[in-house]
Amino acid sequence: MAHKGRARLFDALTTKGTAFTHEERRELGLLGLLPIAEKTIDEQVEHTYHEFSTRRDDLDKHIYLRALQDRNETLFYRLLSEHIEEMMPIVYTPTVGEACQRFSEIYRRPRGLFVAYPDRAELREVLRNRPEREVDVIVVTDGQRILGLGDQGIGGMGIPIGKLSLYTLIGGIDPARTLPIVLDVGTDNVERREDPQYLGWRHRRIGDDEYYAFVEEFVAAVREELPDVLLQWEDFATTHALPILDRYRDRLLTFNDDIQGTAAVALGALHGAAQTAGRPLSEQQVVMLGAGSAGIGVLEMIRQEMVSQGLSDAEAASRIWVVDIKGLLTDDRTDLSDGQRRFAQPAARVEGWAGVQLADVVHQVDVGVLLGLSTAAGAFTEEIVRELAGKTDRPIIFPLSNPTSRAEAHPHELDEWTDGRALVATGSPFAPVERNGKKRRVAQCNNVYIFPAIGLAVTAARATRVTNEMMRVAAKTLGEASPALSDPDEPLLPAWEDVPEIATRIATAVAVQAVKDGVAPERSDDELAQLIRESRWKPEYR
């Protein structure tokens, strides 16, 4: 039986607030519980936007939007959909970083599940306590590597909440069928543990043996409770991210957005950049600063793309140079993970070099593409960028680290140091760059271009796995939508207001690929396109 009275009024998923008509108020037992005026959803949006605009800073605006979401999900998404460009940085990066750091302080109402290690004997009960029975998408974090801010413990819950908001806003996933989860396995952040307001388990992070056993128990509980759900791993530390992905990618419908989503959106931007530069990716020398799971994930997808353009695995690997805090990855180093070792250059190749730091690599190699996922603020120095710009007409430079404070360079600096020739995409939002009296929007390699479309595709097509080819098709479809392809002075990635429609395009291509890969039921391309469009949830009152 449908909720009535106060239960209906305060159910965030079904309430209309002051938009309930007089007749609905009579039928639902709401007479007298609301002021007599009846508002349309457009009038409510106008009112809430005014309230939003009066908030004093971005964190205060973030808190206001979260409170609105807790009160009325439909109105929350309608407001966001009409102000995507302005509100995306508030709901997600970069403001969500501060919200995670201050999660316990600004905590108001529960959302999602807090799966704590001390409750490990009751994991199935925890999963059964989820707010909604039917779930299409879970985003889970353990809070250890939140953006570039490090270990935030349960404060990391802000990331799954924010991600799932974008699944709905951009991908049209029904918010009633999403579930944010944080695995509370302790925190090594002493400041958090000693903060009297901290709401998580006050304990150092558990050791790897206990950790992987707990993750295994969690996955088993998810498979039992929600066997068809899409499980997205988010902001796990480098040491855990790839092993977890490798362990479960062939056992359930899952992907890691930091590894695969970041890779797909970066490759999508590179598609447009390489075409604009007039030099295919397979002919470029690529340098990456940062050898964490995200950086290695990007390079793995670049390597696959180079192979698809005709290179052998070895030829592709020879064109990729990776620099970490110790310098260039070479095959004589004993401190590399298996993923890093795939991109280690032969030590003999750098014999005679004066050094193996980033500046040395840019000096010695005919670099055309410089990428950063290092969280090393300012690492792309003027000297390095100017030398790179002297090697190619259109240098491709992507400082991809989050948040803004950790970016390897700022777009206005790159524009100045390359005389406006650089093809730039960033990880965080930046103000437009002005040159010759004209402002140019800076493309942001935000994973929101990719992951909502993946969620829409697998949900609509009933896929059972997320394959590498599905991610590459997503990247290619995004690249084909690059505004720079029709005007080299335009950004490498589409404007935010166009992203929901582009997400539909990407989702359709991914669903088609899922059928080709044999991980979704057989359907025609036209049937899949129709399914995708019909599956999109819209922020409208029923």
Pairing of strands 438-440, 433-435: antiparallel
Determine if residue 366 is labeled as part of a ligand binding site: no
Whether 92 is catalytic is yes
Q: Do β-strands 327-328 and 320-324 pair in parallel, antiparallel, or remain unpaired?
A: antiparallel
* 3 state DSSP class of 289: strand
77, HSE (Cβ side, Cα atoms, 13 Å): 27
Number of helices (H) and strands (E), helices first, in the chain?
24, 14
383 is annotated as contributing to ligand binding = no
Residue 402 is labelled as binding a ligand: yes
516 tagged catalytic = no
Q: Terminus-to-terminus CA distance in the chain, angstroms?
A: 16
| DSSP at 474 | H
Backbone torsions φ then ψ of 208, nearest 5 degrees: -60, -40
Rounded-to-integer distance, Cα 479 and Cα 126, Å: 41
Identify the active-site residue in 16, 61, 163, 476. Answer: 163
Q: Tell me the C-alpha distance between 416 and 422, whole Å.
A: 9
| C-beta separation of 298 from 373 below 8 A | yes
258 is in an annotated binding site: yes
Residues paired with residue 140 on neighbouring β-strands, in sequence order: 181, 233
**Using CA atoms, how far apart are residues 239 and 212, in angstroms rounded to an integer?**
12
CA distance 386 to 132: 54
For residue 10, give the 3-state DSSP assignment. coil
Query: Does 234 belong to an annotated binding site?
Result: yes
Q: Does the annotation place 235 within a ligand binding site?
A: yes
Catalytic residue among 92, 211, 449, 541: 92
Number of neighbours of residue 325 by Cβ within 10 angstroms: 10
Residue 394 class from Cβ within 10 Å (0-12 exposed, 13-18 middle, 19+ buried)?
middle
Distance CA 407, CA 379 (A): 8
Strand residue runs (E) in 68-133: 113-116
Binding residues: 145, 234-235, 258, 402, 446
Binding residues for (S)-malate: 145, 402, 446
Residues taking part in catalysis: 92, 163
Binding residues for a divalent metal cation: 234-235, 258
